[in-house]
Chains A and B, each alone.
Chain A
Amino acid sequence: MTVSFFEAFNARDLQPVRVAESFVPYDKFQALTGPSHSLLIGPRGSGKTTLLKMLSLEAMRAWTHAKADDYRQKLDFTGVFVPADITWKEMVDGLTKRDLPEDCRDALGQAAFCVNVLLALTETMASRLGADASCAAPTYRLVPEPKDIDQVIGDIAQSWRLKITSFSFAAIRRALRQRLDDLYESSNRFQFTYEPAGRTIKGLYEFIPYLSLDVFQCVESAVNAFDDAIGFKNDRWAILFDEFEVVPLSIQRRVLMKLRATSRKIIYKVALAPCGPHTTSALDSFARPSEGDDVVTIELWYRNKADALSFCQDLFLSKMETNPHLRGMSPEKVFGPSSFSEDAPNPGEDNAPLLPGLEGNEVASWVARWLPQFEQLATKDQTFAKFLREKGLNPDNLDSSQIDPSPSAPNGNTIRKIAQLVAFRNTYRAADGKKVGRKPWLIPYTGWDALAAVSEGNPRWLIGMLKSLDSNMINVRTDPIVSRSDQSEVVARAAMTFTEKLKTVATEENTGISTNVPVFELLSRIGEALGDILIKGNFLSDPPMSFEVDSAVAEDIVDSLRIALNFGAIVSDDPRDHVAGFSSVRGKSFRLAYMLAPQFNLPLRSTGRSRKLSSLLFGKHRSTATLTDEQGSLW
C-alpha cells in the first residue's frame, strides 16, 4: 500500500527510454503531437511528464508500440525535454533569498533556468548526430555529422558565452555544468560582498556577465546554427517544459507570451498544474494566450467517468502484457461489471440508456436484486415512502411490477435512476433517521467500470491499484477473476492512502498557493455534508453530489480548493476559464474525486445537482457577515 502505491509509476525520474517501454498512445497524446504550441494541464499523476517525455528524441527512437512508426512519421519536430521539479525550484530559490531586490532574483532564476534548457538542448543535438543501435528506430532523426561541426560548436559556445576545451557537445555540456557551479558561487559571493542597499541589478550584471543572456535567443541561435550545418534549415524543434509551474514567474510569463505567436521553427509544449501562479491575476492579460491563438490545450482529467473508461481499458491491457496470469484478458473479465452498471446514465454523461431493452429474465434478476433495498428503505424512511406514493407506488406493498426498471414501465426511468441512491441510503440510514456507524460498504466501488471511475483516468492511480493486486488475489477459475472482496480491499487501500496524503498536504507556498485552511479538513467537511444530505435529509431523487464555490466563502477556502484541484482531489464540472487552467475556482462547480467516495460513503455518480459551498459548510440562510466571522474562526 502507501507511498509505493501512488508512486507506482512516476515518469519523472525514468529515462525516456524506460517511459517508452510500456507507453500506449491515446487521444491526449495524439492531440499533443501536432506541430503547434501546446498546454498540457492536469493534476498530479495525470501523466503530464509521461506524455512530454514521449515526445523527446530518445523516447521516440526507443518506442516499440505497433503505432510507433506512424507517430515517428507524423511527428514534425525534434523534442527537447526540459526537466524541472520542486527540489530544483527550491534550489534556485535558495540562490536568491537573501535580501535581493526582485530584479536580481529574477535574473538569477532566469540564468539557472537558461542553463537547464541549454543542457537539455545540448543532449538532444548530440543525439541527433549519434545513434544507439539498440533502439527500435536508431536512425530516427539521425543526421550525419556535418563537416564543419567544430565551427558549429564554436559558434554555439560563443553565443552562449562558454569557454570550451574541445569542439564537442560533451565539452559544451561540461561548460554548462561548470556554469551552474559558478552561478551558485557567484551569487553567494555577490550577496556576501554587498550590503542589501548595494545589491543592484547593474552591479549583479557586472558581477556575473552571462546573466544578461536570453534563454530564448540562446535556443534560437543554437538550433539555427545546427540546422544550417546539417542542411535542414526548416527543421522544427519543440521545447518540452515539464512542471512549468515551478519555473520562475518571469519565465512563465515570457513563455506564455511566446505561445501567442505562430512559430515555424520553435514550438513550446508546456505541462502545468490546473492552478498556480500562471493562472492567477498576477499574470497580466497580455501574458495570457487566448483560445484563438495557435495553442492546443489538452486537459488530463475527465469530467465524466465514461470518458475515462476507454483510456483505462487501454492502460489495463498494456500493463497486463507482462502479467502471466492476466495477459490478454479484458478488464471486465478480471473484475466483472460494476454492481451498479445497470444504473441509469448520469445526467450530462452518455445519454444512451444503459438498459436499452432488458429482456424478461434480466428484468427479473434486476428486481430480485433491488427490491429488498426498496422495501427496507420504505419501511424505515417516511420521506422515501412519501416519494414512492407521489409516484403512484405503494410503499407498504412493493412488488416486482412496481419497481420494474424497463424504460417502457411507468416509473422505469425513475426506478433505475434512484436504485443506487436507495441502496446507499438504506445501508447507512437508521430507522431514527441518523447515520448508521458501520463498516464502509465497498461493493459499490468494485467491478471494472467502478474501478476505472475511482481512478479518474489518472494513470498513476490506476496503475497503483493494479500493482497492489497480490498474486493470491488472482484466480482464473472464478468469475470475476479477482473477487469482489479483494477488489474492495484494493479500493479501500487506495482511498485510505490518498486520504492520508491529503491530510499532510502543505498549506503554504504549495505550487505558489498559500492558505490557512487545511485541505483535507475542508474536503472532509464537504464530503460529510454531501453524505448527510444523501442519507439523513429528506429523500431526493437527485441529491447534490457537487458544490458550487459561491461568493460567500472566504478566500482561504478558495485557495485550499485550488491546492485540492492540483492534487486531483476535486474535479471540475465546469470548463476551465483560462487557456492555462483555472484562474479562479469561484463560481464554478466541483465534485469530490471518486477516489474519496469510499472515505465519505458516496456513490460514484453525478446527479447534475450542486449546492452552494457556503451552505454546505455553514448551513443555509446565513448572512455574509456572519459567514465571514465564522470562517475566520473555523480553522
Chain B
Amino acid sequence: MKQLAVRGLEQRARLDSGVDTFDLAIGYVNDDERSIENLRAVSAEMAPTRIAYLAKISPSDAPESDSRFGREECLDSLHGFRCLEWTETSGREVAAFLYDAAIKSGDSKVSCYLDVSAMPRSLAASILVTLRLLAEVNIEVRLTLGYCLAEYTAPSQAAMPPNRRVSPVHDLLAGWTQDPSSPVQVLVGLGYERGKALGAVEYLQPSDWRLFLPESPEERFFTDVQTQNAELLEGTKDAHKFEYNVLDPAFQFVTMHSMIRAMIVDTRPVFLPFGPKIFFAVCVLLGLMFPSVAVWHVSGEEQAMPSKRKPSEHRVQFSLSLLCVELDEPKDDNSFTSAIKHFLTVSSHGNIHSPSDG
C-alpha cells in the first residue's frame, strides 16, 4: 500500500452554509439528542446526499420504549436524511458512492462530512478505512470530522459491564511491524468508564504507556476522568500524562503525529482511545497513516455509556485532505491499486443515492 498523507488542516466551530459543500454527509443517530446536533446544520444545499446510520434497536425494546422513542424523535428532526441500518456491506457502499462521485467530478476529488459525536467506534473506524482505500486509488478525499461535546452527565453508578473483547478496532488497524520483538507502547485516551483503560492496558502488558486526559469547557468531565482512572494515573509517570483540549483535534493530530513518528523507530505503538470520539477519530487517522501503529478498542464499551446525552453549545469541525504518496519508486505493477479499483467498481452503492440522482 502507498503512504497516506494529509494536508490542508483546518478547524472551526461551525459549518458555514455559504462555503462548506460535501459530496456525502454521514452521521449516526441514536436516542441521544447530541447525535443530531451537528447533522441538523448540514443542509441539502451543503450536501445533496446525507445518510443517517441508525442505532440498532434491541428486539427487547418495546415500541414505546425510551430508546426507540428517543431515536424516532431524533430522526423526525432530521429532514432529508436517508436513514439506513449499518450492515457489513455499508462501508463498501460508501466507498463505491464516493468513488463514483470522484470519477464523475473529473478531478478525482471528493468531500465527505462525518459526524462522529455519537458514532460507535467500530463504525467510525470502518468509514475512515473506506476513505483511506479511496486515497489508495489516487482520489483525494476532503474529510471534515464533526464533533459536538455533550453536556456533563455523571458516570453511571451501576456496575460496569466487563470488558468483552480487547482487540483492534478494524483488521486494517491491527498494526504491522517489521520487528515483532520490539516493545509495545500504548497511548491511552482516558474516558470516564471506570477501570476500562486499566483492564485494557493490563491485557496488553506494554513496556510503557502514555495517558491522554481530555479537557473541555465541561470541566466536571475532567474531574470524573481522573477519579475513574485513579489507579492507572497513580501508576503512571508524570512525564507520560498529557492533557489535551477535546475541541482542538488539529492540535491533537499534529502533536500525536510527531510523537508517533518518534515512537515507531523502535517500538510498536498501540492506541487505546477511550473517551471523546473525536480523539478516537484522530487516532484512527494516525493509524491509517502509520501502518505499524495499531488502534484497539474494547467491545461492549458502548453499552456502558449513559444514553440521552444532551448536546452542549461546544462543537468543532476538523477538516483535512487525505491522499496517497509514493515514498519509494513506483512499483512495476500497480496491481494493488487495480485490485482496489476493481473492488470499488464492482460494488454497488445500494441504498445510497448515486451522485446523479440529485
Q: Do A and B come together as binding partners?
A: yes
A→B interface (CB under 8 Å): 1-7, 10, 12-13, 44, 83-88, 90-91, 93-95, 97-98, 116, 119-120, 177-178, 180-181, 184-185, 188-189, 192-193, 195, 497, 500-501, 503-509, 518-521
The answer to whether A500 and B195 have CB atoms under 8 Å apart is yes
Given that A93-B171, A98-B171, A185-B336 are contacting pairs, would A504 and B200 also be in contact in the complex, using a CB cutoff of 8 Å? yes
What are 21 sample pairs from A and B whose C-beta atoms fall under 8 A apart? A1-B235, A6-B202, A10-B207, A13-B184, A84-B180, A90-B175, A91-B294, A94-B171, A94-B174, A94-B175, A94-B176, A177-B178, A180-B177, A189-B335, A192-B340, A193-B339, A500-B231, A505-B162, A506-B203, A508-B299, A518-B161
The answer to whether A506 and B162 have CB atoms under 8 Å apart is yes
Expressed in whole angstroms, the minimum distance between the Cβ of B60 and any Cβ of chain A is 14
The reply on B155 being an interface residue by CB < 8 A is no
Q: How far is the CA of A94 from the CA of B177 in the complex (A)?
A: 12
Q: Mark B222-261, 1 if CB is under 8 A from A, else 0.
A: 0000000001101110000000000000000000000000
Chain B residues with Cβ below 8 Å from A177 are: 178-179
The answer to whether B336 and A120 have CB atoms under 8 Å apart is no
The reply on B350 being an interface residue by CB < 8 A is no
The answer to whether B171 and A87 have CB atoms under 8 Å apart is no
The reply on B6 being an interface residue by CB < 8 A is no
| Minimum CB distance partner of A94 in chain B | B174
Expressed in whole angstroms, the minimum distance between the Cβ of B125 and any Cβ of chain A is 12
The answer to whether A87 and B165 have CB atoms under 8 Å apart is no
Given that A180-B178, A181-B176, A509-B167 are contacting pairs, would A504 and B235 also be in contact in the complex, using a CB cutoff of 8 Å? no
The answer to whether B231 and A192 have CB atoms under 8 Å apart is no
The answer to whether A2 and B234 have CB atoms under 8 Å apart is yes
The answer to whether B163 and A507 have CB atoms under 8 Å apart is yes
Question: Which of B172, B207, B236, B342 contacts A94, CB < 8 Å?
Answer: B172
The answer to whether B174 and A518 have CB atoms under 8 Å apart is no
Q: Mark B283-306, 1 if CB is under 8 A from A, else 0.
A: 000000001001010110000000
| Minimum CB distance partner of B165 in chain A | A508
Q: How far is the CA of A503 from the CA of B178 in the complex (A)?
A: 34
Q: A90-B294, A98-B171, A507-B164 are in contact. List 16 more A-B contacts (CB 8 A).
A: A2-B234, A2-B235, A7-B205, A13-B206, A86-B205, A94-B168, A94-B171, A94-B172, A116-B180, A177-B178, A188-B336, A189-B339, A192-B336, A504-B200, A504-B202, A520-B162
The reply on B204 being an interface residue by CB < 8 A is yes
The 5 tightest CB contacts between A and B, nearest first, are A504-B199, A94-B174, A2-B235, A13-B207, A13-B183
Chain B residues with Cβ below 8 Å from A91 are: 168, 174-177, 294
The answer to whether B231 and A507 have CB atoms under 8 Å apart is no
Given that A500-B195, A506-B165 are contacting pairs, would A86 and B231 also be in contact in the complex, using a CB cutoff of 8 Å? no
The answer to whether B175 and A87 have CB atoms under 8 Å apart is yes
The answer to whether A506 and B336 have CB atoms under 8 Å apart is no
Chain B residues with Cβ below 8 Å from A503 are: 160, 162, 195, 199
Q: How far is the CA of A521 from the CA of B162 in the complex (A)?
A: 9
| Minimum CB distance partner of A8 in chain B | B235
Chain B residues with Cβ below 8 Å from A88 are: 177, 180
Chain A residues with Cβ below 8 Å from B231 are: 1-3, 497, 500
| Minimum CB distance partner of B174 in chain A | A94
The answer to whether B198 and A192 have CB atoms under 8 Å apart is no
The reply on B58 being an interface residue by CB < 8 A is no
Chain A residues with Cβ below 8 Å from B196 are: 504
For the complex, count residues of B whose C-beta is within 8 A of A.
55
| Minimum CB distance partner of B201 in chain A | A3
Expressed in whole angstroms, the minimum distance between the Cβ of B292 and any Cβ of chain A is 9
Question: Which of A12, A181, A501, A509 contacts B202, CB < 8 Å?
Answer: A501
Chain B residues with Cβ below 8 Å from A504 are: 162-163, 195-196, 198-200, 202
The answer to whether B199 and A501 have CB atoms under 8 Å apart is yes
| Minimum CB distance partner of B203 in chain A | A506
Chain B residues with Cβ below 8 Å from A1 are: 231, 234-235
Given that A3-B232, A503-B199, A507-B164 are contacting pairs, would A83 and B177 also be in contact in the complex, using a CB cutoff of 8 Å? no
Q: How far is the CA of A94 from the CA of B174 in the complex (A)?
A: 6
Chain A residues with Cβ below 8 Å from B270 are: 87
Q: How far is the CA of A98 from the CA of B173 in the complex (A)?
A: 13
Most buried by A among B167, B176, B232, B270: B176
Expressed in whole angstroms, the minimum distance between the Cβ of A570 and any Cβ of chain B is 17
Chain A residues with Cβ below 8 Å from B167 are: 90, 509
Q: How far is the CA of A2 from the CA of B234 in the complex (A)?
A: 7
The reply on B166 being an interface residue by CB < 8 A is yes
Most buried by B among A88, A98, A192: A192
Chain B residues with Cβ below 8 Å from A188 are: 1, 172, 336
The reply on B343 being an interface residue by CB < 8 A is yes
Q: How far is the CA of A178 from the CA of B178 in the complex (A)?
A: 7
Q: How far is the CA of A97 from the CA of B129 in the complex (A)?
A: 15
The reply on B87 being an interface residue by CB < 8 A is no
Chain B residues with Cβ below 8 Å from A521 are: 162
Chain B residues with Cβ below 8 Å from A184 are: 176, 291
Chain A residues with Cβ below 8 Å from B173 are: 94
The answer to whether B340 and A3 have CB atoms under 8 Å apart is no
The answer to whether A93 and B174 have CB atoms under 8 Å apart is yes
| Minimum CB distance partner of A508 in chain B | B165
The reply on B181 being an interface residue by CB < 8 A is yes
Expressed in whole angstroms, the minimum distance between the Cβ of A590 and any Cβ of chain B is 20
The answer to whether A506 and B163 have CB atoms under 8 Å apart is yes
The answer to whether B335 and A90 have CB atoms under 8 Å apart is no
Q: How far is the CA of A508 from the CA of B207 in the complex (A)?
A: 24
Most buried by A among B174, B175, B177: B174
Q: How far is the CA of A13 from the CA of B185 in the complex (A)?
A: 10
The reply on B50 being an interface residue by CB < 8 A is no
The answer to whether A519 and B177 have CB atoms under 8 Å apart is no
The answer to whether A4 and B235 have CB atoms under 8 Å apart is yes
Q: How far is the CA of A508 from the CA of B167 in the complex (A)?
A: 10
The reply on B268 being an interface residue by CB < 8 A is yes
Given that A2-B235, A188-B1 are contacting pairs, would A508 and B174 also be in contact in the complex, using a CB cutoff of 8 Å? no
| Minimum CB distance partner of B296 in chain A | A90
Q: How far is the CA of A119 from the CA of B268 in the complex (A)?
A: 17
Q: How far is the CA of A463 from the CA of B139 in the complex (A)?
A: 54
| Minimum CB distance partner of B164 in chain A | A508
Chain B residues with Cβ below 8 Å from A93 are: 171, 174
| Minimum CB distance partner of A496 in chain B | B231
| Minimum CB distance partner of A190 in chain B | B339
| Minimum CB distance partner of B1 in chain A | A185
The answer to whether B198 and A501 have CB atoms under 8 Å apart is yes
The answer to whether A90 and B299 have CB atoms under 8 Å apart is no
The answer to whether A85 and B184 have CB atoms under 8 Å apart is yes
| Minimum CB distance partner of B336 in chain A | A189
Q: Mark B331-358, 1 if CB is under 8 A from A, else 0.
A: 0000110011011001000000000000
Most buried by B among A88, A91, A98, A189: A91
Chain A residues with Cβ below 8 Å from B342 are: 192-193
Q: How far is the CA of A504 from the CA of B160 in the complex (A)?
A: 9
Q: How far is the CA of A155 from the CA of B167 in the complex (A)?
A: 40
